[in-house]
């Protein structure tokens, strides 16, 4: 029961960003939502990308962007899951 609650309500941003090197930034952000079977939310997508200034980076791969940009991508990935709590 606790595991289910954590999975459905708590998002995490780790010190190591855990971006998949074979996926571009856009696909890294979408990955968890797709894995969970959630539909894409274009309004939320645009809002997050705009707030974190990630639009110019969407086609680039993690090794092609700075550490700060990777961190913003990891934050976007967590926010796109719409958690109630973000750690």
At residue 7, the pLDDT reads: 84
* Domains defined along the chain, listed by start: 2-86 (3.40.50.300)
The DSSP code for 47 is H
The model carries a pTM of 0.90
Q: Over the stretch 8-61, which tens digit does the pLDDT of each residue have?
A: 899 989 889 999 999 999 999 999 999 999 999 999 999 999 999 999 999 999
Confidence at residue 8, expressed as pLDDT on a 0 to 100 scale: 85
> Is 85 strand, coil or helix?
strand
How many CB atoms are closer than 10 A to CB 13?
15
Q: What is d(CA 28, CA 12) in angstroms, rounded to the nearest whole number?
A: 15
The per-residue pLDDT for range 60-70, each reduced to its tens digit, is: 999 999 999 99
Nearest to 59 by CA among 18, 33, 23: 23
**Those residues with Cβ within 8 angstroms of residue 31's Cβ, 6 or more apart along the chain or in another chain:** 20, 23, 77
Q: What is the pLDDT of residue 1?
A: 83
């Amino acid at each position: 029961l606790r595991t289910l609650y954590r999975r459905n309500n708590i998002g995490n941003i780790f010190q190591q960003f855990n971006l998949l090197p074979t996926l571009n930034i856009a696909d890294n952000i979408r990955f968890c939502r797709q894995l969970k079977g959630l539909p894409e939310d274009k309004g939320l997508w645009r809002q997050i990308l705009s707030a974190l200034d990630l639009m110019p980076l969407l086609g680039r791969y993690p090794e092609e962007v700075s550490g700060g940009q990777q961190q913003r991508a990891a934050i976007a990935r967590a926010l796109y899951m719409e958690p109630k709590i973000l750690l």
